[in-house]
Amino acid sequence: MSQNTAPGAPARHSLADLPEPAALLFDLDGTLVDTVHVRVAGWVEAFRRFGIPVDRKRLPLYMGSDGRWLARELSAAAGTELDWAASDEIDRLAGALFDERNVAPRPLPGATELLTALESGGPAHCIATASQAGQVAVSVTALRLPAPPRIVDASHVENAKPEPDLLLAAAAQLGVAPESCWYVGDSMWDMMASVRAGMTGIGVTSGATDEATLREAGAAVVIDGLPELHAELARRGLFG
């Protein structure tokens, strides 16, 4: 990843510039597992069944945000106003359609290796995902980890990303101050939530969001993939 900075622009940090994390939190879809395209397909079909035309090209940018909010935003853009009940219904339908389609998810490069190394004695860690509890099992199983990871999902909080509730709940479960956490995610909503939670956001361009958007949303550092993060943690001697 290039670290070049235009004249007059703020300096761009690298992982090596950051203070040592007491804990690492990871988004799931698009960060650990290649499922963004499946999420998008589920949403497209859910909106279709409700008779709401949406621009499929816009959907990837919304992946990782609160589903009910997503439903209201894109429906309003299509000229349809939804109340909470209707947006919740579309959100749940999109989740069910995702489950039907998410039959063979593929771990993203380095995901299994990094989480396995952390489990062997690295910093505290967990998966913090805006997905509902029933939607994560297949993707987590695909990671083939040596032990079940700690997961904090949308069922633990009232407000999902970009609100900080999910990340703060995860930090509380780990017993770590939010400001000592790195949150690793692939969407602008992940980075916005990390800023609001007071965490260091590590953007990964493995999902549907580019480097510039991740930085604009508050990422302290943007990396191309998890092997880069793994190498930095190893350099610091943080694995057991």
What the chain holds in terms of domains, given with CATH numbers, is 15-35+105-235 (3.40.50.1000), 36-101 (1.10.150)
pLDDT at 13: 83
Among 118, 150, 119, 147, which residue's Cα sits nearest to residue 136?
Answer: 150
Per-residue pLDDT in tens (0 to 9) along the chain, 240 residues:
434 444 444 456 899 999 999 999 999 999 999 999 999 999 999 999 999 999 888 899 898 888 889 999 999 999 999 999 999 999 999 999 999 999 999 999 999 999 999 999 999 999 999 887 778 999 999 999 999 999 998 887 888 789 999 999 999 999 999 999 999 999 999 999 999 999 999 999 998 899 999 999 999 999 999 999 999 999 999 997
Angle at 102 between CA 101 and CA 105, to 5 degrees: 140
Unique residue bearing structure tokens 């407000």: 159
Phi-psi region of 54 (alpha: psi -120 to 50; beta: other; left: phi over 0): beta
pLDDT at 12: 67
**Rg of the chain, C-alpha, whole Å:** 17
| pTM of the complete model | 0.91
pLDDT at 154: 80
**What is the spatial distance between Cα 158 and Cα 174, in angstroms, rounded to a whole number?**
19
CA distances from 90 to 67, 204, 218 (A): 8, 28, 29
